[in-house]
Amino acid sequence: MITKDEIKELLHSTETFRVERTISTSDMDKFQEAICAFSNDLPNSRKKGYLILGAYDNGTLSGLKVTDDMLKKIAAIRSSGNILPIPVMSVDKYVFPEGEVLVAEVTPSMLPPVRYRGRTFIRIGPRRDIATEAEERILAERRTSYMATFDTMPCLAAKLSDIDTELVRSKYLEKLIDKKLLAVDSRPVEEQLSAVGMYDTENNCPTNAAMVLFGRHPRRFMPGLYVQYVRFKGEDVSSEVENEIQLEGNYCELLPRLETLLELSVIKKKPVFVSMLREEMVSNFPYTAIRELVMNGCMHRDLQSNMPLRIYEFAHHLEIANAGGLYGNARPENFPTINDYRNPLIASAMKTMGYVNMFNRGVGQVQTDLKENGNPPAEFVVNLITAFKVNIKDVSNKVVEVQKVATPDLSQVVPSSVPSLSQVLSQACPKMFFKYMDDTIAVLNALKKDTLPASSLMKMVNEKNRNRFKRNILSHLIESELIVPTLTETPSSPKQRYTLTEKGKELMNTYVV
C-alpha cells in the first residue's frame, strides 16, 4: 500500500490520469466509475490509480473523519459485482494534521475492458469518460496480450459457427452492457465478442470461455465438460447404484438443468411431527448450500481435464468433486480466507448471468445454511493436487431424533380418521408436487392474515423465480379454488394481489398451522 509521503505527493500530483480527489463520502456511482477507469488504465502506464476521499481538487484536505463504516463501504465495491472483472484494490486510512483521507489503491486490470454496470469507464487526463469503440478495441487487444488463464485463451480448433451468437447476445451481452450502447453498436459480431473476451481476432476463433458458456457442442473440444450424478444405496462407490444421470451442454443450457436436478433428485423433504396437529418438512440438505457448492465447482473446475463434475449421493452423505485443486494464491493453510480464480472470465460471466451472487463469500454462507438446516459443517478436502472435493452429511440423525422426541401417539389424542393439513392439500391439489407442501402451507398461512402480492409470498418461501413459484404453488391453489387473484381481468398487473377464498378460509380455520 502507498505511504504517507507518497500520498502527500499525489495530493498535488500533475499525473491526473491516476489520481481522483473528492470531498464527497456518499457518491458511490462516482467512486465506482473512478475505480473502473483506474482498472482499465487506458494510457497503459501500468501505474496504480488512487481515489482519495477527503481532499479538494487543489490538494488541500477537507478535515474528513474516516470511520470504519466508510472504510467497509468503499472496500465492499470490490466484491459487489457491479464492476466486472473484479477490480484489484485495497483501501486504507491516513491521518494528517489537517485531517484524514481515505485512499483506494487500484491496480490496472490484466483482463480489460473492465465495466461498471455495463459501461467501460476510462480516464483521459483529469477527466473520466466512457470508452469509444476504438478505445474498447485497444483494451480488448491488451487483454489478449496479458492472456494467462485457460478460459481466456483461443480455442484454436473452433470456428465462430461453433458458438451460438444469439445466445451470447440474449443471455450475456444484454445483461453485461448498457442496452443503449448495445443497440447502437454496429461493429461486426467478431469485434463485439472480442470486446468481452469471447473471441480471439488474431486467430479468428472463439475463446475457451465462449465454448464453455455458449458452444454448440462444447464436449467436442473439452471432453470433461459434463456433470455426472450417481446415487448409491450404500456409503461408498462399491455399493449398488440406484440412479445415474449425465448432463452436458454449454453452461447456458447445463446450469438450469443442473438446478432442476438438485431440486428433483438430490434435495428430499419429509414431514416430521412437531406437535399433535402440526408437521414440519425437514430437508436432507439445504438447497441453497448444495447449489452454491455445485456452481462453485462449475466455476473453478480445470477445463483441460477429462474428469467431469461429480455429484455422488450416498445413503447418508453427498460428495461433490471437480478437477483441479486449489489455484493461485489459495492454499490449504489459508483456505477459505484466500480465494483465487482459475477461470476469471467464466466467473465474471456466471455472475453477470445470475448463477453466482457474490464473490469469495460462498463457503461461509454454505456453512451457515448447513447449520440452520441441522447438518454438520461441510468437510472440504483441499490437499488433493488434481481435484477439489467436499463432503456433506445429511440430517438423517436429526430427523430420527426429532421423531423420537416430538412424534405423539395420535391414536391416544385424536381419532385416526382426522387427516393432516398436508393430506387434505394433497387431495385438494392432486397435481402439486409434495416437495412444495411446506411452502404451500406457508403461503396459505400468510394469506390467512393478509392479502399479499406474489413478491411478498416469494420472499416468505425464499423463491426467486417468479414463473417457477406460480407454476409450482400459485396455479395449483387457484385451480383448487383455495386462493383467488384480486384483479381477475388483468392477471399480469403489477398491482395484482392474492387472497383466500371462502373455501380456503374454511380450510385454514379448521387446521392450526
- Topology of domain 226-397 in CATH is Heat Shock Protein 90 (3.30.565)
Question: Which residues of the chain form CATH 3.30.565.60?
Answer: 226-397
Omega of the bond prior to 308 within 30 degrees of 0, cis?
Answer: no
The rounded distance, in Å, linking the Cα atoms of 476 and 471 is 8
User: Residue 32 is placed in which grid cell?
Assistant: 465506482
Name the DSSP letter for residue 48: P
Name the DSSP letter for residue 113: P
Name the DSSP letter for residue 489: S
The rounded distance, in Å, linking the Cα atoms of 41 and 445 is 55
CA dihedral 98, 104, 108, 110 (to 10 degrees): 160
CA atoms within 13 A on the CB side of 464: 6
pLDDT in tens, the chain (513 residues): 789 999 998 898 887 889 999 999 999 999 999 999 999 999 888 899 999 999 999 999 999 999 999 999 999 999 888 999 899 999 999 999 999 999 999 999 988 999 999 999 999 888 899 999 888 888 887 776 665 688 988 999 999 999 999 999 999 999 888 888 888 888 899 999 998 999 999 899 999 999 999 999 999 999 999 999 999 999 999 999 999 999 999 999 999 999 999 988 899 887 665 554 556 678 899 999 999 999 999 999 999 999 999 999 999 999 999 998 888 777 788 888 877 788 989 998 998 998 886 555 578 889 999 998 889 999 999 887 678 889 999 885 444 333 333 333 433 433 334 455 666 666 666 666 556 777 888 888 889 888 999 999 998 888 888 888 888 888 888 888 889 999 988 878 888 999 999 888 888 876 544
In 3D, which of 39, 43, 44 has the Cα closest to residue 108?
39
**Angle of CA points 495, 496, 499, to nearest 5°:** 130
Say if CB 39 and CB 112 are below 8 A apart. Answer: yes
Q: What pTM does this model have?
A: 0.57
Helices 251-261 and 344-352, interaxial angle, to 10°? 70
pLDDT at 404: 36
Provide CB contacts within 8 A for 45, sequence distance 6+: 17, 18, 108
Q: What is the CATH number of domain 419-510?
A: 1.10.10.10
The rounded distance, in Å, linking the Cα atoms of 115 and 122 is 10
pLDDT at 409: 40
Question: Which residues of the chain form CATH 1.10.10.10?
Answer: 419-510
pLDDT at 73: 95
pLDDT at 17: 86
Q: What is the CATH number of domain 4-130?
A: 3.30.950.30
Question: Which residues of the chain form CATH 3.30.950.30?
Answer: 4-130
